[in-house]
């Protein structure tokens, strides 16, 4: 079964409803840095994370670049996964290695990899050595970090990454209920992620529960098709 990850939740009730609909990984932004939409204070993020205990995997996205600050976030919020979504070199290999050493063994580490050209394959292979998961996303000039652009990338490059690393890979970048099955067929990733594609239309960052429902249904339909092939 393909893992379904949805960002960016700010409302406890919506997060709980999404988990009930079958979303495996509930994503939220932990840290008020004034960088991206949907940021929560550590207290707000902890409240959301605690509400999902044993219901879903809690994934805290951080835009911090300082190892001490990321560790402080993990201690304050208590997520299952820390998702480092800055530009890769902002939290480079040495910092990722230190994070892996300092985070509790039960807290997994996810690294966002921008997929723009073939160089992403080597970058993914390198960061796979100090990460528990990779998230493949689209980098757009002018937007902070990796992702949240609503744009897809070359899924064939993502497929090469999936086949060349030994850790789970989540495919992100412009995935919607309408295209997620095609993305699954192309990339064959362990998981799929939706952020802007499951928001309320019109540029709002609020989640559209019907689109989340449709996204889950599309992923499970493709899972069934794969199982029957």
- 69-88, pLDDT tens digit by residue? 999 999 999 999 999 999 88
What integer pLDDT is reported at residue 143 of this predicted model? Answer: 64
- Give the start-to-end residue ranges of the domains of the chain: 3-228
Report residue 199's pLDDT band, with 50, 70 and 90 as the boundaries. Answer: very high
Proportion of the chain above pLDDT 70, given as a percent: 94
What integer pLDDT is reported at residue 16 of this predicted model? Answer: 97
What integer pLDDT is reported at residue 88 of this predicted model? Answer: 86
Average pLDDT score over residue span 18-27: 98
> What is the full DSSP assignment across the chain?
--EEEE-----HHHHHHHHHHT-SEEEEEES--SSSTTEE-HHHHHHHHHHTTTTSEEEEEE----HHHHHHHHHHH--SEEEE-S-GGGG-HHHHHHHHHHS-TTSEEEEEEE-SSTHHHHHHHHHGGG-SEEEEE---TTSSSS--S-----HHHHHHHHHH-SS-EEE-SS--TTTHHHHHHHH--SEEEESGGGBPTTT--SB-HHHHHHHHHHHHHHHHHHHH-
Proportion of the chain above pLDDT 90, given as a percent: 84
- For the domain spanning 3-228, the CATH number is 3.20.20.70
pTM to 2 decimal places: 0.95
Whether the CB-CB separation of 5 and 193 falls below 8 Å is answered with yes
Report residue 34's pLDDT band, with 50, 70 and 90 as the boundaries. Answer: confident
What integer pLDDT is reported at residue 201 of this predicted model? Answer: 78
Pairing of strands 39-40, 57-62: unpaired
What integer pLDDT is reported at residue 162 of this predicted model? Answer: 98
What integer pLDDT is reported at residue 147 of this predicted model? Answer: 62
- Mean pLDDT (the chain) is 94
What integer pLDDT is reported at residue 157 of this predicted model? Answer: 97
What integer pLDDT is reported at residue 31 of this predicted model? Answer: 96
What integer pLDDT is reported at residue 228 of this predicted model? Answer: 87
Check whether 202 has a pLDDT greater than 90. Answer: no
- Among residues 215, 208, 203, which one has the least CA distance to residue 172? 215
Mind listing the pLDDT tens digit for each residue in 123-171?
A: 999 999 999 999 999 876 756 567 666 788 899 999 999 999 999 999 9
């Amino acid at each position: 079964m393909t893992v379904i990850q949805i960002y960016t939740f700010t409302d406890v009730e919506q997060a709980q409803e999404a988990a009930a609909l079958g979303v495996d990984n509930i994503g939220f932004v932990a840290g008020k840095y004034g960088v991206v939409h949907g940021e929560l204070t550590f207290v707000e993020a902890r409240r959301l994370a605690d509400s999902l205990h044993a219901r879903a995997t809690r994934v805290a996205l951080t835009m911090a670049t300082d190892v001490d600050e990321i560790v402080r976030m993990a201690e304050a919020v208590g997520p299952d996964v820390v998702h480092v979504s800055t530009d890769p070199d902002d939290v480079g290999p040495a910092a990722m290695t230190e994070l892996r050493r300092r985070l509790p063994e039960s807290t997994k580490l996810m690294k966002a990899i921008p997929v723009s050209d073939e160089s992403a394959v080597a970058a993914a292979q390198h960061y796979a050595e100090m990460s528990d998961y990779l998230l493949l996303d689209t980098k757009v000039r002018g937007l902070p970090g990796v992702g949240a652009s609503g744009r897809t990338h070359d899924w064939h490059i993502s497929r090469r990454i999936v086949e060349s690393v030994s850790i789970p890979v989540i495919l992100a970048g412009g995935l919607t209920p309408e295209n997620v099955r095609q993305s699954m067929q192309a990339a064959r990733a362990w998981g799929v992620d939706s952020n802007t594609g499951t928001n309320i239309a019109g540029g709002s960052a609020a989640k559209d529960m019907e689109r989340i429902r449709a996204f889950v249904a599309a992923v499970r339909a493709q899972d069934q098709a794969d199982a029957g092939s």
